Each structure stands twice: as C-alpha cells, then as structure tokens.
C-alpha cells in the first residue's frame, strides 16, 4: 500500500514537470502549427541561469530557490521570445522550415551549453526540506513531488485564467480554432504568436529549475530528455488542448512510475505503447478535436 | 439606388489562372456605396473565387481591386478587414468552441482595444462587451449569448455571423450564401436582418442560390458563368436577358421571378 502511494505521489510530481513543458508545446502547436523542438533548450537555459541567480543569494536557501524560479521563468520567456521573433517569424507559414530551424537550434544550444557549463551533470544544493521526505500513510514521499504538483497546478490555473479572462486569451483561443478567421476579423495574430512562445518559454524555464530540485543535478541534456516525454504527453492529450496536456501528463507519469516498479523498469516502453495505442484508436488525442 | 453612391468597391480586369486553368477572367464590376448587389451563377461559375479575390484570400493573376479608391490588390486579409471589408464564408466563419458573445467580442475588442495590453481583462461591463451585446440584440440572439457558437442552429449561426460583421463595422460586407442550410421558417427573419444592414448604409455583396431572396433584396444582380461576368443590372433586366436565361436560369426564370415580386 505504501509503495503504491509512493509511486502515485512521485508520478504526480513527475507529471507536474511534464505539464510545465507540455503546456507550452501544446499552446504553440495549437495556435501556430509549429512543433517546437527547441523547447527543451528553454528549459535547460532557464535551469542554469536560474540556479546561478539563486546562488547569488545563497545555494540551498529558500530565498535563493525563489529567485531562481523567477529568473528561470524570465530566462525561458526571453529565450522563447527571441526565438519566435528571430527564427520563427521570418518563416511565417512555412511549417517544415520552422520545425527544422527549431531542431537545429536545439542541437546547437545543447552544444553551446556543454561548451559553457561542461557536458557532465553538476550537483545542486537544495533547501533542506526539499532534500527530505514526508510520511504519507506510511510512504516516504519526496518533498519535491509536492512542489512540482503545486507548480503544475498553479501554472495550469494561471494559463487557464489568462486564456479565459484576458483579451489576448480570447484571441489565442480563437486562433487555436481557426487562425485564418482571426485574420479575417482584422486581428494581427503575430503578436499572439510571440506571446504564446513567451508564456510557453516561461513555463519551461520554471520547469527547468524545478527539475534540478527533483533530479538533484543540472545538466545540458536535461531539457532534451524531458522534451521527449512532454511531446508524447502533448500528442496523447491532444495537440492544442491544455487540459488534455494536464490529464495526459499525470496519466503518462503515473503509468511510467508503476511500470518501472511492477513491470521490471518498462516505464518508457509502456508510455510509447500507450502513445501508439492512442494514435491508433483516437488519433486526435484524449481531448483533441477530430482533424 | 443602383449605382447611385460613389464607387466603394471597384474590380477591374480581375482574373485568376491556376495551373493553366482559367478560374475567373476579365471581371469588371463597380459597386456604389450603400448598394446591395447579388451575385448568381451556376455551381463552379466562380462566385466564391470572386469573393476570395476581393477579400484577399487569393491573389489575382490579373486585374486590380480598389476599396474606397485605394488599391488593395496586394493587401492582406487583415489589412482589408481593417480598411472596412468584412465577409462570411460558405462554411461557417465562427469559432464553434467560443461562446456567442465571445465571437462578437473578438471583433469589437479589435476596434476598441486601443493598446492591447497583455493582461487587460475583458470585463462584462467594458465598452467592447457592451457593444457586442448590442449587436447580438440587433440580430435577435441575446438569449443565446453564453451558448457555444457550435451549438447554435444553422439559422442562428448565420445571424451570429452577421452580428460579427456588424461588430467589425465593415463598410463593405460580403455574404457567401447567407441562406445556406437555414430552415425555411428562418429565411424571412434573416432577409430582414440583411435588409437592415444595408439600410444602415453598408454596401452588401451577396452570393446566394435562393433566387427569391436575391431578387427581393438586390439593387443589381451580377451573373457569373464559366468564370466570366455575363451582366450586372437591375433584377428585372437580368431576368429578361436572353443570354442569362440560356446560360443559367433556363425555363424556370419566369416562375422564380414571379414569386419574388
């Protein structure tokens, strides 16, 4: 019983991290039709810069972590905005080229990060509470899981409120449904594109700093490994559906944890099989619209 | 008021050739301010293509489009929309998952938005929302304001599209088959809405198969056939035109004209 609770709790925590990456991917694809392979780089950059900022206040302190999270999110947003303005916008409506340029950027940035911070993972110093566990019905749940779930829920709530109650949110929701018609109303959707990239980059940068707390290290490759599962989550949830991404994040991460424990470390395999099953049975994803 | 006002939409020598196939050629059409022009023609005559060229979805391979004297041939859809050209589509131009009110609000906030600050919250009471509510009342959809647009009946969807056009405050309105899929009982109400839009000073260009509607509403009727403009004249003359009759209307011309009168 306590094992099951532990697996569910760590699964939820991992799901929170997946969602931080997948939410941006899903929004960007939904509005612009761009598969952003550079999204993992926003995460990695956010993690390194965020930690560096936090260390100025004090490694392993709550103040340092808080500053790190804010700086990480801002860094992710800035990197994503620069990418959209500099690389994506000049290739407007040329989707293949846009995807290729994000692939190229992801490869180049990983090499750049290795050059700056070295190829090997570096240990991080965490606040004491985050490095320990809490007893939940007999299960010793890592405290990072709670933080990740909280962050995922706050970001989900924030983005949903943004989409529902702001002017740009309305434009973005309309653009996800029918971009051509938004243009026909005389609205310049390109500003919404930049904004969606910035929001997605901020969530990824936040996720980067959080991931270092769960993994207990920071590495130039952490973005790429999280990105793979975030893509799977995005497809399973339905490209462009934010709630779909949230549901799929939890389903995928919990399934992964359970399979890793009960089925001999087959978590990754099970997730890919789930992806294949969803594509066969419901190609538009759990909450996506039929194409 | 046929050809009464100054020209607001001028199309000269407009043509579109795709891969050697001529879809439209040599279209010359001048529409005066406040006019209501019906565009008819058999399926494949090029009616929707003409709308797509005028609204900017396609670029013509020859000819020009002038909106209020300004050459917009190379302008984007968004630029033309801001210059006062609004249109509906044969397939619905609505956002099915947004609410009825939000569909209209999208257009009003574009005009009233001013600085579209990222975190500016649309409140129910702000000017854009108030104006959206007015337009919904005009077309008789107030009671459906919070429903998802995709859940409306065909007739109500057409009314909502017209409310969106009103919200865009377009001076020239292109309606692509406004009666398509509308229940017979709703046609009369929709005709009144279109008449009211035209009476408010807006210029209307309308593709419609429903002959009674076209002949009842239009100041002039343009007839397209095989991508060319056969004629554009007052309904009575068009109905009497022998080329039109042989090309399109055939033997039913007399009966439809009679029922429209």
ipTM: 0.75
Taking CB atoms and an 8 Å limit, are B81 and A185 in contact across chains? Answer: yes
Nearest residue to A105 via CA among A50, A195, A44, A19: A44
d(CA B70, CA A218) in angstroms, rounded, equals 58
Q: Quick check: B163 pLDDT over 80?
A: yes
Distance of residue B172 Cα from the nearest chain A Cα, in angstroms:
13
* Residue of B77, B83, B103 to mutate, interface with A, max A Cβ within 10 Å: B77
Higher pLDDT: A253 or B78? It is A253
Query: Coil, strand or helix: which one is B103?
Result: helix
Residue A173 near chain B (CB below 8 Å): yes
- What is residue B260's predicted lDDT score, i.e. its pLDDT? 37
Mean pLDDT of B42-64: 90
Taking CB atoms and an 8 Å limit, are B77 and A187 in contact across chains? Answer: no
d(CA A32, CA B145) in angstroms, rounded, equals 28
Q: Quick check: B117 pLDDT over 70?
A: no
If residue B243 lies in a helix (H) or strand (E), which one and from where to where?
helix B242-244
Instruction: Using the Cα atoms of residue A44, residue A50, residue A52 and residue A55 in order, give the sign of their dihedral.
Output: negative
pLDDT (tens digit, 9 = 90+) per residue, A231-279?
A: 999 999 988 888 999 999 999 999 999 999 999 888 889 999 999 999 8
Lowest mean pLDDT among A29-38, A114-123, B30-39: A29-38
Just give the CATH number of A2-281.
Answer: 1.10.3470
Which chain B residue lies closest to A192 (C-alpha atoms)? B118
Taking CB atoms and an 8 Å limit, are A186 and B87 in contact across chains? Answer: no
Residue B82 near chain A (CB below 8 Å): yes
Give the nearest partner residue to A167 out of B76, B107, B122, using CB atoms: B122
Residue window 55-74, chain B: list those with CB within 8 Å of chain A: 55, 57
Distance of residue A196 Cα from the nearest chain B Cα, in angstroms:
11
Give the nearest partner residue to B168 out of A168, A173, A186, using CB atoms: A186
Taking CB atoms and an 8 Å limit, are B78 and A187 in contact across chains? Answer: yes
Which chain A residue lies closest to B87 (C-alpha atoms)? A184
Query: Which pLDDT band, with edges at 50, 70 and 90, does A93 fall under?
Result: confident
Residue A217 near chain B (CB below 8 Å): no
* Residue of A186, A190, A196 to mutate, interface with B, max B Cβ within 10 Å: A186
Q: Quick check: B118 pLDDT over 60?
A: no
Identity of the highest mean pLDDT range in B8-17, B122-131, B135-144: B8-17
Q: Quick check: B203 pLDDT over 70?
A: yes
Taking CB atoms and an 8 Å limit, are B122 and A173 in contact across chains? Answer: no
Taking CB atoms and an 8 Å limit, are B113 and A167 in contact across chains? Answer: yes
Polymer length in residues for chain B: 261
Query: Up-side HSE of residue A235: CA atoms within 13 Å toward CB?
Result: 18
Beta bridge partners of B221: B38, B233
Distance of residue A213 Cα from the nearest chain B Cα, in angstroms:
31
Residues 6 or more apart from A172 whose CB is under 8 A from it?
A27, A31, A163, A192, A195, A196
Residue A168 near chain B (CB below 8 Å): yes
Nearest residue to A54 via CA among A175, A169, A212: A212
Q: B7-260, which class in CATH?
A: alpha beta
Distance of residue A247 Cα from the nearest chain B Cα, in angstroms:
20
Nearest residue to A272 via CA among A224, A211, A239, A228: A228
Taking CB atoms and an 8 Å limit, are B97 and A177 in contact across chains? Answer: yes
Chain B residues inside the 8 Å CB shell of A187: 78, 106, 110
Taking CB atoms and an 8 Å limit, are A170 and B106 in contact across chains? Answer: yes
Q: Is 0.80 surpassed by the pTM of this model? A: no
Beta bridge partners of A133: A142
Residue B259 near chain A (CB below 8 Å): no
Taking CB atoms and an 8 Å limit, are A167 and B98 in contact across chains? Answer: no
Q: What angle do CA B191, B196, B198 make, to 5 degrees?
A: 95
């Amino acid at each position: 019983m306590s094992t099951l609770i532990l697996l569910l709790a760590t699964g939820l925590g991992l799901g929170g991290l997946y969602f931080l990456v997948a939410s941006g991917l899903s929004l960007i694809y939904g509005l612009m039709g761009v598969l952003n392979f550079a999204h993992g780089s926003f995460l990695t950059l956010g993690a390194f810069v965020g930690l560096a900022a936090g260390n100025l206040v004090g490694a392993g302190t709550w103040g340092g972590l808080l500053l790190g999270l804010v700086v990480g999110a801002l860094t992710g947003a800035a990197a994503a905005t620069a990418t959209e303005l500099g690389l994506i916008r000049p290739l407007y409506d040329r989707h293949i080229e846009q995807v290729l340029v994000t692939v190229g950027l992801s490869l180049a940035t990983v090499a750049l990060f290795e050059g700056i911070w070295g190829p090997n993972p570096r240990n991080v110093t965490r606040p004491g509470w985050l490095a320990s566990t809490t007893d939940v019905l007999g299960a010793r749940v890592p405290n990072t899981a709670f933080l990740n779930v909280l962050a995922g829920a706050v970001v989900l709530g924030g983005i949903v409120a943004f989409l529902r109650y702001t002017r740009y949110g309305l434009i973005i929701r309309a653009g996800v449904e029918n971009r051509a018609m938004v243009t026909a109303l005389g609205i310049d959707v390109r500003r919404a594109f930049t904004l969606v990239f910035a929001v997605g980059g901020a969530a990824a940068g936040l996720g980067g700093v959080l991931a270092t707390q769960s993994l207990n290290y920071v590495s130039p490759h952490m973005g790429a490994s999280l990105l793979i599962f975030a893509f799977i989550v995005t497809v399973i949830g339905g490209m462009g559906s934010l709630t779909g991404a949230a549901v799929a994040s939890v389903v995928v991460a919990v399934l992964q944890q359970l399979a890793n424990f009960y089925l001999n470390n087959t978590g990754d395999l099970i997730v890919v099989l789930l992806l294949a099953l969803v594509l066969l049975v419901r190609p538009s994803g759990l909450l996506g619209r039929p194409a | 008021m046929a050809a009464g006002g100054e020209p607001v939409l001028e199309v000269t020598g407009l043509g579109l050739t795709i891969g050697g196939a001529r879809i439209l050629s040599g279209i010359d059409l001048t529409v005066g301010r406040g006019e209501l022009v019906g565009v008819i023609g058999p399926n494949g005559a090029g009616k929707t293509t003409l709308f797509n060229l005028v609204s900017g979805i396609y670029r013509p391979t020859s000819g020009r489009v002038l909106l209020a004297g300004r050459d917009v041939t190379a302008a984007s859809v968004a630029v033309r929309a801001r210059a006062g050209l609004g249109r509906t589509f044969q397939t619905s131009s609505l956002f099915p998952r947004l609410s009825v009110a939000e569909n209209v609000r999208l257009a009003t906030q574009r005009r009233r938005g001013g600085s579209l600050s990222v975190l500016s919250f649309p409140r129910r009471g702000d000017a854009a929302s108030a104006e959206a509510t007015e337009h919904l009342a005009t077309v008789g959809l107030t009671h459906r304001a919070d429903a998802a647009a995709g859940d409306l009946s065909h007739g109500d969807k057409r009314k909502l599209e017209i409310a969106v056009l009103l919200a865009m405050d377009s001076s020239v309105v292109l309606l692509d088959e406004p009666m398509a899929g509308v229940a017979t009982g709703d046609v009369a109400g929709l005709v009144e809405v279109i008449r009211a839009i035209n009476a408010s000073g807006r210029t209307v260009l309308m593709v419609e198969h429903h002959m009674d509607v076209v002949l009842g509403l239009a100041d002039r009727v343009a007839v397209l056939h095989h991508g060319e403009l056969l004629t554009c004249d007052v309904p009575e003359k068009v109905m009497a035109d022998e080329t039109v009759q042989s090309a399109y209307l055939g033997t039913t011309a007399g009966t439809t004209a009679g029922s429209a009168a």
